[in-house]
Amino acid sequence: MDYEGLVVIRSVLAVPLFWAWALRYGAASAIVRAPARAVAAAAFAGALCYSLGSLLDFYALTLIDASLERALLFTYPAMVVIAGAVLARRLPAPRVSGAIALTWVGVALAVGAFDRDVLSANVTGAVCVLLCAGTFATYFLISERYTRQVGSLAFTVFAMTGAAVALVLWHVPRHWSWPVAPDAASWVLIALLVVFSTVAPVLMLAEGVRRIGAERGAIVSTVGPPFTILVAWLAIDERLSLHQLAGTALIVGGILFVELARRRRPASA
């Protein structure tokens, strides 16, 4: 099974679990009463982020290390700030602008912009991850608006259903077949991927944001890239160069500063 088939089957198998969780924990009324506009927006966001974005991300992982992928994917909060500034027609605060610039310097270092050989090896995968980060930013902006109408759990159900439908409509006409794992061991790994790397993270993220807010949640999530680097080193012996580690540090530091600044702004208003 290639990465495309894996993305499709992961998404399709995850949908019943999302629906079961939503119905079990009281989102049935929100789902039934949801306005058509909110349902369509959630389905579009899911199709964009969890179908197109996932395909880009999985393809990138065939080209670049997981450590670099995670660091680049983490640029999405900076994209959210930039998009918000464009929509509001207002420049971010100077400190936030500086932090965003620092983040993009980190991206340049991480992909090897100053080393032709490293850049050549990473550029295609890096572009795919940055496009994926753009879909994440779009999902965040759409969800921020419509979760107020339908709730985070109902929005998640609509989004993940939209993603699964989009992936099936994209995959089946191209291959006229359904992706099937080659053996029982592969099905076990897929089941673990569905439960622990798809359903559980999405639900825990939604619940975490509900409990502590998006800003604090984003601050906590800064552990993601360093943790990925550590696990990739221990599990599969991936090693980043010094300039890539420096770039990752700048990305994480810049995003952390952006989120802290956004968190302080309402408190000081």
DSSP structure string for 58-93: HHHHTTS-HHHHHHHHTTHHHHHHHHHHHHHT-PPP
pLDDT number for residue 69: 86
- Residue-level pLDDT at 52: 94
Residue 109 structural domain: 3-268
pLDDT, tens digit, 9 for 90 and up, residues 32-44: 999 999 999 999 9
Contacts with 41 (C-beta within 8 Å, 6 or more apart), sequence order: 142, 145, 146
pLDDT of residue 223: 66
The pLDDT tens digits for 182-191 are: 778 888 888 9
Cα–Cα nearest to 167, from 37, 45, 54, 41? 54
* Amino acid 269: pLDDT: 44
pTM: 0.81
d(CA 64, CA 66): 7
DSSP letter string, 163-230: HHHHHHHHHHHHHSS----SSHHHHHHHHHHHIIIIIHHHHHHHHHHHHH-HHHHHHHGGGHHHHHHH
Say which residues have a Cβ less than 8 Å from residue 2's Cβ, sequence separation at least 6.
Answer: none
C-alpha span between 245 and 71 (Å, rounded):
10
What is the full per-residue pLDDT of the chain (269 aa) written as tens digits? 678 888 889 999 999 999 999 998 888 888 999 999 999 999 999 999 999 999 999 999 999 888 788 888 888 888 888 888 888 788 877 888 888 888 888 888 877 777 777 778 888 999 999 999 999 889 888 988 888 888 888 999 999 999 999 999 998 888 767 666 677 888 888 899 899 888 988 888 767 666 665 555 655 666 666 777 677 777 767 676 777 778 888 887 887 777 776 666 544 44
Question: Per-residue pLDDT tens for 210-241?
Answer: 666 555 565 566 666 677 767 777 776 767 67
Question: pLDDT at position 53, please?
Answer: 94
Q: How many domains does the chain have?
A: 1
- The count of other CB atoms within 10 Å of the CB of residue 182 is 8
* pLDDT for residue 268: 46
- The tokens describing 196, both together, are 């622990």
Q: Look at residue 84 in the predicted model and tell me its pLDDT.
A: 80
